[in-house]
Structure 1
Amino acid sequence: MEQVNPASRPRHVIWNTAETRPDEQFSYYREAICQAFMNLTPETATTSRFPAKVEAIKVGNGAINRVVFPEHTVHRSRADIAASTESCFYLNFKLAGRCRMLQDGREVSLSRGQVGIIDSDHEVTLLHDRGPALEVASFWVPSRALRDRLPPSFDFRAERVSDDPHVGHLIVETARSLNAGALRMAEEDSIRLFDVLLDLVALGLSRGSWAQTAEAASFADATVLALRRAIHERLRQQGLTVAAVAGAVGISGRYVHKLFERSGTTFSDYVMERRLDGAAAELKDPALAGREIGTIAFDWGFSDLSHFARRFKQRFGCRPRDWRSR
């Protein structure tokens, strides 16, 4: 089945096997999870009924996939990986039952209330058991969105990130809040909360490698998180400067440039991309359909409408009004 990028589908989609004949339910479920996640190969011992529900909620370039299902096994094989057009991480928040995640010779077990992460670029087996009705909220995280928050040389492996003694509980509560409120809050707010979740996960993963990482690099990674947070809090301010953000974090402007250079970008480009993302989200929000495009641009720190329109087209391939009309 052709894989569908979460960023290209409607914001909210539901697949329910109750809508199909009992002998077709598992096949329907298999197609649904391939649409919601990416190419996967599920297996089940049952040959008849398979009561399951898959719900996908788009959050910026990522997604929350809520899945309720009976006991079964899911594989991501070499063939599945080769057939996929996207790379991502799955951040799984277990809501009911147990899931054992086997990847690269490592097993990570998740029980209710725990959060684990796996890489879609490596073969993995998910064993879902301990209950007739199991449930998970799986956050579809574009690879770059997380790797940009991690040290360049970071060696990823499957982890239970909720175990971190400092930020594990924050990861759990943020995942819980985002899962529960994604459809109730404005899309812009859900994207911000998604970014907070990724910051916390990156911090937890980085902490796990600090014993093998030079002290200076560890300090830089933590500082980058604080730097991005300071920028996000000030994105709507016109004339946002390196000096203002550096002062908020307590570092020099020169070090700000160095940290962004280390990540392969610049302060200006990072601010521009985040502002354009925020404006694009508001242009698609039906609740803001009556707000002028210029007003939205100015709200996101742009002082020149023609400059905003030009940069918007460069990033998204169309003019702001065409984006809104879609």
Structure 2
Amino acid sequence: MQQIAAADRSRRVSWNTADTRPGEQFAYYREAICQAFMNLTPEPPATPGFIARVETVGLGDGAVNRVNFPEHVVRRSAADIAASSRRCYYLNLKLAGRCRIQQAGREVSLSPGQVGIFDSGRRFALLHDRGPALQVASFWVPAEALDERLPSAPEVAPARVSDDAFVGHLITETAQVLNNSALRATDADNARLFGVLLDLVALSLSRSGRQGVAESAGLADATWLALRRAVDRRLREPGLGVAAIATAIGISERYVHKLFERAGTTFASHVMDRRLDGAARDLRDPAIAARAIGDIAFDWGFSDLSHFTRRFRHRFGCTPRDWRRG
């Protein structure tokens, strides 16, 4: 079965073996992963029945394939490679269980939260174990999209890129955001963030030959992006501080302050502005028009209503009540 055409990847496609009879479930799963990925040869389990779910969502020229399945082995043979019209890389974010990637005489193990890469142009085996319920978010990366970001004549060996001391945490963070928001974000935002992910992976793969590039402006920009996303996810937490955010993305508190200084602001000012913006949106939301202003303020991490009102007036030039009426 041939892979989904690139033109069809802008839409969501899903398969669920629970909708078929037990004796046909594994065959249906095999067809689904060949559609979502490329020609693959999964090995059938010893027992009948195979409950699995496959979903693919477009990310510009690439895609994220989310797969839930029981323990089994997937191989890509020489015949599979010959039958495929394109070459790609698989960038796997492990979500549940464990997977061992075997390719070119190497073995890389992925546990939940780790990200690994391997090449569809060479034979491989994926040993999915430590179940019974396993889950992976596998990013389908057109080979040319990553190759153009790497030195000439790249040869990408299987690697756990999330281990990179400088950008590993950024790769994991970006992959998780893409996986979680792919269906909610616009096509343009998905494509841009997918490009950021590829830039980070390319930086990791080529960094060994370019020591010092971790301090480049490109890395600082990527860290700044991860920093703002981490703040946005925790805006509603009362008492949110620099230490918690620094720990979340794996950088020092001093570097957090330095990045905000470069942006012409401070951590406290950024958090305050983002909270006030969120409260302002909620105050204008007709769906929650009956909610008390104090409740909305508390939802956005404010613990004192009079303090919230003063800051709101300073930012928007009116009280929260007048803003809601407007």
TM-score clears 0.5: yes
- In structure 1, the residue matched to 2:247 is none
Distance in 2 between the 1:92 and 1:7 partners? 22
Distance in 1 between the 2:6 and 2:93 partners? 18
- In structure 2, the residue matched to 1:102 is 102
Closer, same or farther in 2 for the Cα pair 1:180/1:49, shift >3 Å? same
Report the TM-score when normalising by structure 2: 0.64
Q: Tell me how far 1:11 sits from its aligned partner.
A: 1.0
Distance in 2 between the 1:10 and 1:185 partners? 12
For the 8 Å contact 1:12–1:57, the answer to whether it is kept is yes
For the 8 Å contact 1:99–1:126, the answer to whether it is kept is yes
Once the two structures are superposed, what CA deviation does each residue of 1:116-175 show, in whole Å capped at 9, x if it has no partner? 000000000000000111000000000010011001143321110000000000000100
Q: Write out aligned runs for 1:189-228 (5 A).
A: 189-210=189-210
Question: Residue type of the partner of 1:191?
Answer: A
Q: Tell me how far 1:5 sits from its aligned partner.
A: 2.7
SS, match of residue 197 in structure 1: helix
- In structure 2, the residue matched to 1:30 is 30
Distance in 1 between the 2:191 and 2:66 partners? 17
Closer, same or farther in 2 for the Cα pair 1:44/1:180, shift >3 Å? same
SS, match of residue 192 in structure 1: helix
SS, match of residue 121 in structure 1: coil
Q: Structure 2: which 5+ residue stretches go unaligned?
A: 223-326
For the 8 Å contact 2:10–2:187, the answer to whether it is kept is no
Q: Write out aligned runs for 1:137-156 (5 A).
A: 137-156=137-156
Once the two structures are superposed, what CA deviation does each residue of 1:55-94 show, in whole Å capped at 9, x if it has no partner? 0001111000000000000000000000001110000000
Q: Write out aligned runs for 1:293-308 (5 A).
A: none
Distance in 1 between the 2:6 and 2:185 partners? 19
- In structure 2, the residue matched to 1:177 is 177
For the 8 Å contact 1:64–1:137, the answer to whether it is kept is yes
Q: Tell me how far 1:9 sits from its aligned partner.
A: 4.4
- In structure 1, the residue matched to 2:160 is 160
Larger Rg: 2
Distance in 2 between the 1:193 and 1:66 partners? 17
Q: Tell me how far 1:223 sits from its aligned partner.
A: 7.3
Q: Structure 1: which 5+ residue stretches go unaligned?
A: 212-217, 230-326
For the 8 Å contact 1:7–1:58, the answer to whether it is kept is no
Q: Tell me how far 1:10 sits from its aligned partner.
A: 5.2
For the aligned residue pairs, the C-alpha RMSD in angstroms reads 2.1
- In structure 2, the residue matched to 1:52 is 52
**Is structure 2 residue 21 aligned with structure 1 residue 21?**
yes
Distance in 2 between the 1:224 and 1:82 partners? 41
- In structure 2, the residue matched to 1:41 is 41
Closer, same or farther in 2 for the Cα pair 1:91/1:7, shift >3 Å? farther
